Amino acid sequence: MAEVEKQNARQRILDVSIALFSKKGYTGVGVREIANEANVNLAMISYYFNGKVGILKEIFEYFFDRYLPIFDDINNAALTPETCFRQLVQKLIQFIRDNTELFLMVYNELPLDVPEVSEIKAKRIGELIQKMSGMMIRFGIDPEDRQLFSIVGPSLISAILTQFRLRPVIQHLFQIEPDESYYQRYTETICSLFLEGVSGIKSIAI
């Protein structure tokens, strides 16, 4: 009845699920909890998604549908590899900022065994690797060097993500409150780290 409530029920279930899954994990959340939080009748979950696992499937698809396009136009030949890289990092951070819970949830569920979604995961990660190989080449990394290939990309992602993953801990321990300038410097730090190594990073006492 409240205005924010009145997106359709289906979407509310998805939103609530993402939030809860990211905090407690897929198996740690019950459908009752989802239905309550989403102000939706319990049976609607089966009605719309054919059960709890249907929500997970849909979230995965939804995620990759929005995530993969980020890697589509990162190989602008007119720009230096460094510039391309910086643009990519910027886009990634922006995407994660806009979809923090979604991203965390997918990242956390990715290695877990839920048979019904393993096919989706395999297919989409294959696509992702395909898209990344172009940029790798520009950095002189041979995609056939599979070990190297499988280190740099995932490392970048998880390096960026770590900050969001540990947000509660970090905020509590360091009293950091992220604002726009925080993320600007964050982007620079990540770029420096990957382009020049730790020694390239400029420390700024806050």
Interface residue list for DNA (CB under 7 A): 8-10, 29-33, 40-47, 50-53
Partner whose footprint covers residue 71, from DNA, a second copy, none (CB < 5 to 8 Å by kind): none
With CB under 8 A as the contact rule, the residue among 2, 147, 179, 180 that binds a second copy is 147
Partner whose footprint covers residue 103, from DNA, a second copy, none (CB < 5 to 8 Å by kind): none
Asked whether position 68 contacts a second copy by CB under 8 A, the answer is: no
Partner whose footprint covers residue 93, from DNA, a second copy, none (CB < 5 to 8 Å by kind): none
Provide the minimum distance between the beta carbon of 122 and a second copy in the complex, in angstroms, as a whole number. 7
Residue placing its CB nearer to a second copy in the complex, 44 or 152: 152
With CB under 8 A as the contact rule, the residue among 19, 68, 120, 193 that binds a second copy is 193
Residue burial 174-200, b: 16+ Cβ < 10 Å; e: rest: eeeeeeeeebeebbbbbbeebeeeeee
Residue placing its CB nearer to a second copy in the complex, 61 or 182: 182
Provide the minimum distance between the beta carbon of 105 and DNA in the complex, in angstroms, as a whole number. 15
- Tell me how far the alpha carbon of residue 204 is from its chain's centroid: 27
With CB under 8 A as the contact rule, the residue among 8, 77, 180, 199 that binds a second copy is 199
Provide the minimum distance between the beta carbon of 95 and a second copy in the complex, in angstroms, as a whole number. 18
